[in-house]
Amino acid sequence: MTTRTNTIDTVAIVGGTHGNEFSGIYLLRKWQQTPSLVSRDTFQTETVFANPKAFEANKRYLDCDMNRQFSLEDLANNDLANYEQSRAKALNAQLGPKGDAKTDFIIDLHNTTSNMGPSLILLQSDAFNRQMGAYVKMKMPDAVVVLEDQVTVEEHYFLSSISEQGVIVEIGPQPQSVIRQDILDWMDEMTAHILDFVDLHNQGRLPELPASYEAFKYHETLKLPEDENGERIGMVHRNVQDADFKPLKSGDPIFTLFDGTEVSWEGDYEAYPHFINEAAYYDNNLAMSLAKKVTVEV
Amino acid sequence: MTTRTNTIDTVAIVGGTHGNEFSGIYLLRKWQQTPSLVSRDTFQTETVFANPKAFEANKRYLDCDMNRQFSLEDLANNDLANYEQSRAKALNAQLGPKGDAKTDFIIDLHNTTSNMGPSLILLQSDAFNRQMGAYVKMKMPDAVVVLEDQVTVEEHYFLSSISEQGVIVEIGPQPQSVIRQDILDWMDEMTAHILDFVDLHNQGRLPELPASYEAFKYHETLKLPEDENGERIGMVHRNVQDADFKPLKSGDPIFTLFDGTEVSWEGDYEAYPHFINEAAYYDNNLAMSLAKKVTVEV
């Protein structure tokens, strides 16, 4: 088989899609100074600083969230012309165009204020992605694999959906606008394992991988408690804070209202919260994502 | 003795001096809904939202750091007219004027991204402050007392220097623009103990306090590593990250450069870092403050 997805010829590593997530931005500088760190024999590597203006402003974005601007519809809509919408079109021209992209694989580097550890977010669950998750977990036992394959890659609006294959490296906890060495080192290591995986995949020299592994499949997003005017009236319960990827059962406390009232989660499944109390999600009054635990067969 | 500092008739609790430090802002809302939580028999309590525009913008400040605008010289300089400088003059008129303030005591509520726990920052070490530190530590064993009495209150440029007595409640770690319940609860509790202390002090009914306690006296501030162009070339060493108020000895690693080089601290005293890797300090490329451990005699 020599279909296009089976050989990765061009890889883009993208940092600073959000301007106050510093790990990727500082790693890009390091890799631009020493390109051999991210080059491999079987593909070309490009590094891309996605939102330099937001970094200058020390903000997540200037006008709107860059990592929500890559639906085919929005990329084709020339009326969407603010900074991030324009920059998205420029990146699509540089790396894509989405649907027929010159870049085969995009690694988009992110930080979260949530206690998610070193997380690898896969946007689809084909053999390539299932193997990549297995390889990264084998090399990096702390790694967590999150599946956001509820829609097709083309239907995703993330930057890393420009190319036929793309992942999000999501490392936390790190406050916005801070560089923590532990988080930087995790991102550096996970990126290296992903590049190694692609190189071995291209060479048909993947090592023996585990037959299956545990992952977390996105299910739904919960809002913070609001009153009838949409004003926030509560916060994440202290038992749930920092408990990313720990099971949440029906009846467990999930929110505390500012008046002291505890609110329980009344779900009909065992949920695995993540992106718990992520700072950036306050814009939309989101509290956390919930996943279901799944077994990925390699 | 009935000197003015010996009776506190008016207390102001200030939140949102920095717009992305959320604990104080949300506690103000709660206390404004239920004023009895912060009222005591022997004084009047006022709650003040210091920088509402910065909160709306979800930033620390719009133009400059509000909590550096309260030197007597700057308050008297009418050419200093940006938003925070103007707001500082308005707050000085409302609560002060500094040097002859109608408010006897200010509690200014802050968060830090650093792992400082519930910290009480005292701006002077007179009997009132020494006793307050003892009382708060007795009621709240996790509390840490920090002394920033290297200059007189009048020479301080902090908001809480408007009044003859003032403290800063500094609780972390909390990312900017996030509400953590554990941090909120600590701030709520520490503020209540401070109010109780003032009330007991006014009544001459303070309980028996410990004869002495441990505190951390500010000594110096360290910058992040920079190259000759002032560009940041390194970060806080992973051993020091989160190790606020843990001793740092000469020769201990303190920074890691982005090229991997480790940098040691070469000091001639046993230092106690705090405000380690505080997000807001990146504006000035500051890495941390260093204190010396001292014993406060009550």
> Is the confidence at residue B239, as pLDDT, over 90?
yes
Chain A neighbours among B 62-91 (CB < 8 Å)?
A: none
Judged by CB atoms closer than 8 Å, whether chains meet at A277 and B30 is answered as no
Q: Residue B125 sits in a domain of what CATH number?
A: 3.40.630.10
Q: Residue B285 sits in a domain of what CATH number?
A: 2.20.25.160
A136, A251: one domain: no
Tell me the pLDDT band of B4, cut-offs 50, 70 and 90.
Answer: very low
Domain boundary among A210, A244, A276: A210
pLDDT in the model for residue A261: 96
B280, B154: one domain: no
Is A296 inside any structural domain?
no
Tell me the pLDDT band of A72, cut-offs 50, 70 and 90.
Answer: very high
pLDDT in the model for residue B12: 98
User: Which residue among B175, B182, B236 sits closest to A176, beta carbon to beta carbon?
Assistant: B175
pLDDT in the model for residue A64: 97
Range B171-197 average pLDDT: 98
**Tens digit of pLDDT for each residue in B247-276?**
999 999 999 999 999 999 999 999 999 999
Give the span between the Cα atoms of B34 and A55, in whole angstroms: 41
B172, B247: one domain: no
Strand B165-172 versus strand B105-111 pairing type = parallel
Residue that the structure tokens 């403050």 belong to = B289
Range A11-32 average pLDDT: 98
Tell me the pLDDT band of B6, cut-offs 50, 70 and 90.
Answer: confident
> Is the confidence at residue B32, as pLDDT, over 70?
yes
Is A297 inside any structural domain?
no
Q: Compute CA A88 distance to the chain's CA centroid, rounded to the nearest angstrom.
A: 17
Helix/strand/coil percentages in chain A, nearest 5: 30, 25, 45
pLDDT in the model for residue A1: 35
Tell me the pLDDT band of A6, cut-offs 50, 70 and 90.
Answer: confident
CA nearest to A181 within chain B: B238
pLDDT in the model for residue B225: 97
Question: B284 contacts in A (CB within 8 Å)?
Answer: none
Domain range for A238: 219-291
Domain boundary among B152, B178, B210: B210
CA nearest to B114 within chain A: A175
Range A290-298 average pLDDT: 97
Judged by CB atoms closer than 8 Å, whether chains meet at B258 and A185 is answered as no
Is A298 inside any structural domain?
no
B172, B62: one domain: yes
Looking at the annotation, which residues of A are catalytic? Answer: 170
B193 annotated to bind ligand: no
Q: Compute CA B237 distance to the chain's CA centroid, rounded to the nearest angstrom.
A: 24
CA nearest to A257 within chain B: B181
Give percent of chain A above pLDDT 70: 98
Range B26-52 average pLDDT: 97
B25, B63: one domain: yes
**Tens digit of pLDDT for each residue in B87-114?**
999 999 999 999 999 999 999 999 999 9
Is B273 inside any structural domain?
yes
Judged by CB atoms closer than 8 Å, whether chains meet at A113 and B258 is answered as no
B277 min Cα distance to partner chain A (Å): 7
**Tens digit of pLDDT for each residue in A218-258?**
999 999 999 999 889 999 999 999 999 999 999 999 999 99
A18 annotated to bind ligand: yes
A239, A167: one domain: no
Is B246 inside any structural domain?
yes
The ipTM of this complex is 0.93
A81, A171: one domain: yes
A123, A192: one domain: yes
Q: Compute CA A110 distance to the chain's CA centroid, rounded to the nearest angstrom.
A: 6
Question: B279 contacts in A (CB within 8 Å)?
Answer: 175-178
Looking at the annotation, which residues of B are catalytic? Answer: 170
Is B139 inside any structural domain?
yes
Range A136-151 average pLDDT: 97
User: Which residue among A29, A238, A279 sits closest to B176, beta carbon to beta carbon?
Assistant: A279
Tell me the pLDDT band of A48, cut-offs 50, 70 and 90.
Answer: very high
User: What would the 3-class secondary structure string for chain B be?
Assistant: CCCHHHCCCEEEEEECCCCCCHHHHHHHHHHHHCHHHHCECCEEEEEEECCHHHHHCCCCCCCCCHHHCCCHHHHHCCCCCCHHHHHHHHHHHHHCCCCCCCCCEEEEEEECCCCCEEEEEECCCCHHHHHHHHHHHHHCCCCEEEECCCCCCCCCCCHHHCCCEEEEEEEECCCCCCCCHHHHHHHHHHHHHHHHHHHHHHHCCCCCCCCEEEEEEEEEEEECCECCCCCECEEECCCCCCCCCCCECCCCEEEEECCCCEEECCCCCCEEEECCCCHHHHHHCEEEEEEEEEEEEC
Residue of A65, A178, A185 to mutate, interface with B, max B Cβ within 10 Å = A178
User: Which residue among B59, B185, B235 sits closest to A181, beta carbon to beta carbon?
Assistant: B235
A277, A204: one domain: no
Q: How many domains does chain A divide into?
A: 2
Question: A181 contacts in B (CB within 8 Å)?
Answer: 235-238, 241, 256
Question: Tokens in use for B176?
Answer: 């900017």
Residue of B18, B59, B179 to mutate, interface with A, max A Cβ within 10 Å = B179
Tell me the pLDDT band of B3, cut-offs 50, 70 and 90.
Answer: very low
Domain boundary among B158, B178, B210: B210
Q: Does A57 touch chain B (CB under 8 A)?
A: no
User: Which residue among B177, B184, B241 sits closest to A182, beta carbon to beta carbon?
Assistant: B241
Range B10-30 average pLDDT: 98
Question: A277 contacts in B (CB within 8 Å)?
Answer: 178-180
A69, A156: one domain: yes
CB B107 within 8 A of CB B194: yes
Chain A neighbours among B 161-190 (CB < 8 Å)?
A: 173, 175-182, 184-185
Range B24-29 average pLDDT: 97
Is A188 inside any structural domain?
yes
Give the span between the Cα atoms of A162 and A147, in whole angstroms: 18
Is A122 inside any structural domain?
yes
pLDDT in the model for residue A3: 42
Question: B236 contacts in A (CB within 8 Å)?
Answer: 179-181
B18 annotated to bind ligand: yes
A141, A284: one domain: no
A204, A234: one domain: no
> Is the confidence at residue B1, as pLDDT, over 80?
no
Give the span between the Cα atoms of B287 and A221, in whole angstroms: 36
Give percent of chain B above pLDDT 90: 97
Identity of the amino acid at A144: V
Q: Could you say which DSSP state residue A123 is in? A: S
> Is the confidence at residue B119, as pLDDT, over 50?
yes
Judged by CB atoms closer than 8 Å, whether chains meet at B235 and A277 is answered as no
Judged by CB atoms closer than 8 Å, whether chains meet at A182 and B26 is answered as no
Q: Does B238 touch chain A (CB under 8 A)?
A: yes
